[in-house]
Structure 1
Amino acid sequence: MSVRRVIAVFGVVVALLAGCRAGRDESPPEPVRPRWEASHLPVPPGSAGRLVVRDATACAGRWYVVGAVGGPDGATRPAAWGSADGRTWASLPLRPISYYGERAILYAVGCHEGRVAVVGARAGGAHGNPRVRTWRQDADGGLTEVPAEFEVYGGPEAVSASRIAGGARGWLIAGARTGGAAVWRSPDAADFQLVDGAVGLASDAGLTTLATDALAMPDGWLVGGGGRPADRADRDPFVWFSADGRSWTRLALPATGEDEIVQRLVRVGSSVYAVGVRGSGFQAWVAEPAGAATSAGTWRAVGRFGATGTGAVAGVEAAAGGGAGVLAMTVAAGGHRLWRSAAGGSSWVPVALPVDVFAGGDTSAAVAVWDGRMVVTVDDGVAARVWFAPSAAV
């Protein structure tokens, strides 16, 4: 080999090594640091105990946080709080009507036309399965448990009732039965009807499905989740659309050979975002404009962010959006993290939480956004706390 050729080859190798080194040395983006203000959640009237917080939402200019009060003996009772400004909170009256309603932990809250509806559960019975209950908001702001037969949410085919959404067509809960993805629908949050085994939504011979979140659309409902093909171990991401909550059309999102599932849906301006897990990290998909979310051909995979790590169940706990972009709260081996994308989901930066929260155990975190303001809830398994910040600073 000539000296000239040896020098050329050496130069290529050096360039490649330099490129690899630059990639390894590339530092992660600097976290955004909002101006957090601590808020106080009062203990609701009744027996003393630690506060448990599971979800938060903004609804027609008011903020809501839901959870429970946990006693030293492991007993729980449902709890919910409201705020006009995100700083000062008051507990809401709770009116349970059943044994498990009196012990429920409220874990999902949705909003429609200024009122909220809530899903809660408490494990019990011979097999220790979650006993799901729903709650509607009364004129005085309090929450009343909705009567339901055991088989509506429970029974031998029960799997999960995950998230609740309200819209022009009423209310919808997304979840799963042993037969695959399922929903519960109601015109007024006072009487939910199970839609099980729906063609296009439920599992079939080629795909085992699971629904994780629901989003109200102007012309119907969008449900997010995933499906495991019969010949594979990994899942693919899907959304489903329905005009009435009964008949569903399955829409496949761009997928890879990695394990992928949509876990949260959020509408921000003229776009609908789906956020979930993809392999060893988190992934965002987007449909633009929002009305195009009902067509599989309009969804794009955009930014990938974060890392799931090992030793913990990873997922997207909450998603919210506004003028500052999209916010996603994730949980992974490294703990609970908040992320923001101001670039249509294509790139993400971490947002520093007011405290570090490890994953596992009885921990959770959530985020809600409204009119340039942001509320974050954190439950580290010992205490539950709420913070407020201008989301414009994010």
Structure 2
Amino acid sequence: MAKLSLEKRFAVVEPNDDESAVERLDYLTKIVTEFEEHLAERASHYLGYPSNQNCKHFVGLSQLLQFNINNCGDPFTEGDLGMHTKKFEVGVLDWFAKLWEIEKDEYLGYVTNGGTEGNLHGILLGRELLPNGVLYTSQESHYSLFKIARMYRMDCETISSLATGEMDYADLKRKLLIHKDRPAIINVIVGTTFKGALDDLDIVIETLEDCGFSQNQFYIHCDAAMFGFITPFLNQVPKYTFKKPIGSMSVSGHKFMGTPMPCGVQITRKSRVNSISQSIEYISSLDNTIAGSRNGHSSMFLWYGLNIKGLKGLQKDFEECLRNARYLRDCLKDAGISTMLNEMSNVVIFERPPDHEFVRHWQLQCLRKMAHIVIMPHVSIEMLDKFLHNLIKKRGIWYESGKVEPPCLAEDIGICNCACSLHAKG
């Protein structure tokens, strides 16, 4: 096959008539192998995004890629389509139902395409239950919440947050009282996107009650995309459980668990789903999900990962992540760099590097004057040491003239965590 120019290398090119199948396959294999090497290099510098890159054990499921697997419809109804993994999906759902303390005959749920779909489903259930409800969500919410409010044409109140990223409950109370004649649909964040903070479910429920909202006047969705696998091991924080008056909870599978494709789990009370369920004859199933066709491989990968790790394995991973996060925070502090780490979090915030190439190289997420690193199970001390060496060396270049100084982060992460020239002296 003729050599393609660089710009056409990743284009879809029709096979030539004079090209054999072996030649075509060899050419494609070469491109894929080179891309695999690129991904391996990128994974070794993957610090800012909340996905676990330890995925090698999932290669054991590669033989399933020869099948087109579709879990369309209700996970608890097999239907006439035989190419599905619904038995494995229900096994995953039962595991999460036990984790989040809801009885098997009281819940429904499904494996989603990711955290956004879990939020879409949870907020939809709240809106259908309380059509005139106002959506309340923190300014630290994942961007999907504000997109959902627009999609569903819901009135939305953005709640202020504290420097830690946790919801400002005084502001929640003020805004609840403004709309006390309308039901409340609350999004509680279990691990905020940028700071890894936990909204206190108990305080949210107490605030609703103090404002005069009975349980039939509010709906709570818990967005646990980040920390759904972590909070069961945190004795220092309130439990996120269906034993409390929540309506739904969702988690991402590709984040802490590290499935090699985006996916997630959504659990809700069975009584809540009736409002959106309808029977579809030609798939021989109920339609009670957001998606129609659903990725059957995701359920299999989640099932496989949970069976390999189990709760003890997940707890061991998190404890190591917590140690590594504290190591990174302490090293940044010792180097005189503004930094913050919430007490039981794996998300380390620090000053935003002024060099886009540096940000791109380490794949950092940035917001205003901040950047963050999410310590996932693939992030080793060795990787962090390489990052720290690179950062400290680059800072000597960025700020060597003294004309430009590191940013002040007092407003973003609190004066006590800011190491700028003004607050370091304080």
Where on the TM-score scale, by shorter chain, does this alignment land: which range?
Answer: under 0.3
Higher strand share: 1
Which has the greater radius of gyration? 2
Structure with more contact order per residue of length (Cα contacts < 8 Å, sep ≥ 6): 2
TM-score after normalising by structure 2: 0.22
